[in-house]
């Protein structure tokens, strides 16, 4: 389990995630990085779910971005189609929050490519807590990075599968 939050504000897009990796009720690692940047394409992504599954999906997203000349919308739809229909991929259990300068999406294994309203996305076990905190913090003078970090910290206080070892990527 994990918590990922994506915040867009003032032409900045930030993805933040906690560092906790759990197996059942046991914390296995507290410093994992569940956020990634695809530097060449100006895309940031965060993953909630199985680590190996998330890394596989990140590689697939990167390949789709290459194939579609960095068009995140097209890459997200193509990844979701593959994820839903491919015999191997459909067994992967993860959610992705991805964003570039223009778009933010939640991508799921059921074929969903959702473009949530507003400028905050929260996924994972503490995603709703981080989403609520992020939405409240959007009414402050904080920048996107500060909002994302604080949202994860709030989620970590409530969700037992989230810690406050925050990793951040931004574009």
Taking the C-alpha atoms of residue 101 and residue 109, their distance in angstroms, rounded to an integer, is: 24
Residues in contact with 18: Cβ distance below 8 Å, sequence separation at least 6, in sequence order = 2, 3, 34, 126, 152, 155, 156, 162, 163, 164, 165, 166, 167
Residues catalogued as catalytic: 2
Contact between residue 28 and residue 22 where contact means Cβ atoms under 8 Å apart:
yes
Taking the C-alpha atoms of residue 50 and residue 42, their distance in angstroms, rounded to an integer, is: 25
Taking the C-alpha atoms of residue 4 and residue 125, their distance in angstroms, rounded to an integer, is: 9
For residue 117, the cross-strand partners are none
The residue written with tokens 């190996």 in the block is 52
Residues in contact with 103: Cβ distance below 8 Å, sequence separation at least 6, in sequence order = 72, 73, 115
DSSP state of 134: H
């Amino acid at each position: 389990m994990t918590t990922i939050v994506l915040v867009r504000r003032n032409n900045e897009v930030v993805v933040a995630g906690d560092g906790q990796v759990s197996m059942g009720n046991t914390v296995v690692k507290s410093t994992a990085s569940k956020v990634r940047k695809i530097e060449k394409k100006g895309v940031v992504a965060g993953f909630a779910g199985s680590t190996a599954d998330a890394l596989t999906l990140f590689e697939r997203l990167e390949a789709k971005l290459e194939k579609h000349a960095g068009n995140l919308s097209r890459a997200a739809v193509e990844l979701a189609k593959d994820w839903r229909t491919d015999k191997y991929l459909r067994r992967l259990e993860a959610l992705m929050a991805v964003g570039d300068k223009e778009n933010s999406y939640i991508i799921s294994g059921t074929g969903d490519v959702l473009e949530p309203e507003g400028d905050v996305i929260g996924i994972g076990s503490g995603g709703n807590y981080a989403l609520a905190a992020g939405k409240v913090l959007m009414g402050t003078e904080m920048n996107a990075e500060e909002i994302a970090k604080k949202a994860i910290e709030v989620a970590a206080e409530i969700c037992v599968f989230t810690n406050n070892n925050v990793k951040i990527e931004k574009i």
